[in-house]
Amino acid sequence: MINGYSQSVFLLLLKSTSLVSLNWVDSLVIVLYFIFVVGIGFYLLRYTKTGEDFFLAGRRMSSWVAGLSFVAANLGSLELMGWAASAYQYGILATHWYWIGAIPAMLFLAIVMMPFYYISRTHSVPGYLKLRYGESTSMLSGVSFAFMTVLMSGINMFAMALVMKVILGWSIDFSIWVSSLTVMLYVVLGGLLSAIFNEVLQFMLIWLGALVIPVLGLIEAGGWSGMVSKIHANFPAGNYTHLWSTLGSFKDNPMGIHWTGIVFGLGFVISFGYWTTDFLVVQRLLSAKDLRSAKMAPIIGAGFKMMVPFIVILPGLLGLAVMPGLLPQQQAIATGGNSYNEVLPLMLARYAGPGLLGLGITALIAGFMSGMAGNVTAFSTVWTYDIYRPIHMKLAKKERPDEYYVKMGRWATIIGVIISIGTAYLVQQFASIMDYVQALFSFFIAPLFGTVILGMLWKRATGPGGFWGLLAGTLASVGMYVWVKLQPSALGIIALSKYAKPMADDMYRALWCWLVTVIVTIVVSYMTTPKPEAELTGLVRGCTEIPSEGHLPLVKRPIFWAGVVFAVLVILNVIFW
């Protein structure tokens, strides 16, 4: 998910010196990583023959592999650096994006939605919309998703290249071309199978590379209590270590947000929208070998997601304790100091000796590549099955052989990467594009969740209802965004408080446009004729027989582990209240 970090990354361009320099041992660690990811692609080429192999990894993945890649596809390097910076700026409040802003949605996906995605045997989320609502809704969702995915991939690529320039002094061209061509090579060779395998590898490297900081940071700060005391001593006026106690009023916390925005905007609409309908992450689950694995995968992913603050938020908090004085980006540029946007690489440079620094940089590169591979594989699937295929069928009125679609998927991967590279260079020229594309991406997420969830849970939802609901919700989101851009005081109306800050805008905009989608879908559905129930089998609750898990021992039932993860989530929130 987006946190505004990538925009501020632009200001890093103004820095002329790099933060660290690598010795040959660190470089060897990075080179080995590249050799392995490409090697895995070449090795898996032999297992990628059919469309199901290329686009769905043969539907053979275990719950662990699907679950880890589900989380890794979301763990971009900007996510790591951005949230560490946010933790330095806002304190532990940033953890909400990992806990309430992710875990309930992932568990809901596992228990409620996954059966319909999996039983319908769809290739993609737009594919599900086609089965449930028809071609027009699927095409609207598919085209917007494909377009946004490659653009977002390009933006992340450029931002990552900037980060590498600042940390290591690498040229932007070098970072863009080496990383993107590597991703392209291994995805073209092995499709989703290769992307998933590399994501599992990248997930391990992200943890083993990034974990150095919290471990040594806690030793230096004197443990958790020592860190909290140091933060209070360094920032006596701020409250950086409580999750909920400052959210009673917009004025009491540095984010300028109210608990209703966190619970309903972030915890409900935004996170449910992202985690349950963004095909980039859902695609990993469709590769599971059976329904139980497909349900367990997001639960396993949720367990790991819940621990990610340890390597992302904690370094930011440790920075507040042991490196007070990092500045907002513009102030840092003016004074020649360091910005809190650089807190993660600064902490890495503070603790990591030879080899460990290379491992930490590899973790950042791995994060970027796992995110990009997620974008590229999702794009090639949606393009091939949800955009090209229906148009071809309409024009030629005949089906192509399976091998043709595999070839198309490979070409879509290459073209997707080329468009991403082009976007990266475009963003370099016109920085404001980044703002607009990120906003554009957010326009589709919340309405899509409204459309999909009604489609799965409400038999009466009709094709026209789904289409007009999705369109109305998206336009409502665009309208609110433009309104706030033209008249900033409108933020107070949308977020229901004059003290609201831009972060609150995203939450409340998502909430309102989701409501618009739901209301329009319901109204139009009641005005139009529903599909016969026989056509809804495998797509809608009440029309679909979901295999019972009653015969399984308790420890093998997804619902049991979902309960365990949820209980841990509640306990963690109480501990850090």
Partner 1 sequence: MVDNKGISIWFFIGTLLLLYGIIVTGANIYQAYNPSFGRPTVLENLHFGIWWGILLIVVGLIYFIGFRPWKNANQHPD
Give residues in contact with partner 1 (CB under 8 A).
20-21, 23, 25, 28-29, 32-33, 36, 39-40, 43-44, 47, 57-58, 60-62, 64-65, 193, 197, 200-201, 204-205, 208, 212, 215-216, 219-220, 289, 349-356, 359
What would the two tokens of residue 352 be? 């990591």
Cα distance between residue 160 and residue 67, in whole Å: 25
Q: Which is nearer to partner 1, 32 or 574 (CB)?
A: 32
The minimum distance between CB 570 and partner 1, in angstroms, equals: 31
**Helices and strands (H and E) in the chain: how many:** 27, 0
Q: Which is nearer to partner 1, 215 or 570 (CB)?
A: 215
| For helices 135-168 and 125-132, angle between their N-to-C axes, nearest 10 degrees | 170
Q: Which is nearer to partner 1, 189 or 427 (CB)?
A: 189
Q: Which is nearer to partner 1, 33 or 272 (CB)?
A: 33
The minimum distance between CB 33 and partner 1, in angstroms, equals: 7
> H-type helices in 57-171, by residue range?
63-72, 77-90, 103-108, 114-119, 125-132, 135-168
Q: Which is nearer to partner 1, 215 or 546 (CB)?
A: 215
The minimum distance between CB 225 and partner 1, in angstroms, equals: 19
Q: Which is nearer to partner 1, 71 or 500 (CB)?
A: 71
What would the two tokens of residue 434 be? 């980044």
The minimum distance between CB 343 and partner 1, in angstroms, equals: 15
The minimum distance between CB 96 and partner 1, in angstroms, equals: 30
The minimum distance between CB 199 and partner 1, in angstroms, equals: 10
Cα distance between residue 258 and residue 427, in whole Å: 33
C-alpha closest to that of 53 among 189, 145, 199, 202 = 189
Contacts of 333 (CB under 8 A, 6+ apart): 11, 14, 15, 339
The minimum distance between CB 241 and partner 1, in angstroms, equals: 22
The minimum distance between CB 359 and partner 1, in angstroms, equals: 6
Cα distance between residue 539 and residue 531, in whole Å: 12
3-state SS, residue 306: helix
Cα separations (Å) of 205 from 31, 212, 369, 371, 546? 14, 12, 12, 14, 37
The minimum distance between CB 169 and partner 1, in angstroms, equals: 15
Cα distance between residue 94 and residue 85, in whole Å: 9
C-alpha closest to that of 327 among 500, 89, 140 = 89
Q: Which is nearer to partner 1, 212 or 536 (CB)?
A: 212
Q: How many residues does the chain have?
A: 577
Indicate the residue type of 338. Answer: N
Beta bridge partners of 61: 288
Determine contact, residues 352/212, Cβ cutoff 8 Å: yes
Q: Which is nearer to partner 1, 350 or 541 (CB)?
A: 350
The minimum distance between CB 37 and partner 1, in angstroms, equals: 9
The minimum distance between CB 353 and partner 1, in angstroms, equals: 4
The minimum distance between CB 307 and partner 1, in angstroms, equals: 16
Q: Which is nearer to partner 1, 38 or 562 (CB)?
A: 38
Q: Which is nearer to partner 1, 62 or 239 (CB)?
A: 62
Cα distance between residue 442 and residue 458, in whole Å: 25
**274-278: long-range contacts, CB 8 A cutoff, minimum separation 24:** 274/1, 274/105, 274/445, 275/102, 275/105, 275/106, 275/109, 276/105, 276/108, 276/109, 276/113, 276/449, 276/452, 276/453, 277/125, 277/445, 277/448, 277/449, 277/452, 278/125, 278/445
Distance spanning both ends of the chain, measured CA to CA: 23
Cα distance between residue 340 and residue 344, in whole Å: 8
The minimum distance between CB 39 and partner 1, in angstroms, equals: 8
Q: Which is nearer to partner 1, 36 or 499 (CB)?
A: 36
Q: Which is nearer to partner 1, 27 or 331 (CB)?
A: 27
The minimum distance between CB 316 and partner 1, in angstroms, equals: 17
DSSP classification of residue 54: H
Cα distance between residue 136 and residue 265, in whole Å: 28
Q: Which is nearer to partner 1, 39 or 547 (CB)?
A: 39
CA–chain centroid gap for 4, Å, is 14
Indicate the residue type of 517. Answer: T
Q: Which is nearer to partner 1, 208 or 426 (CB)?
A: 208
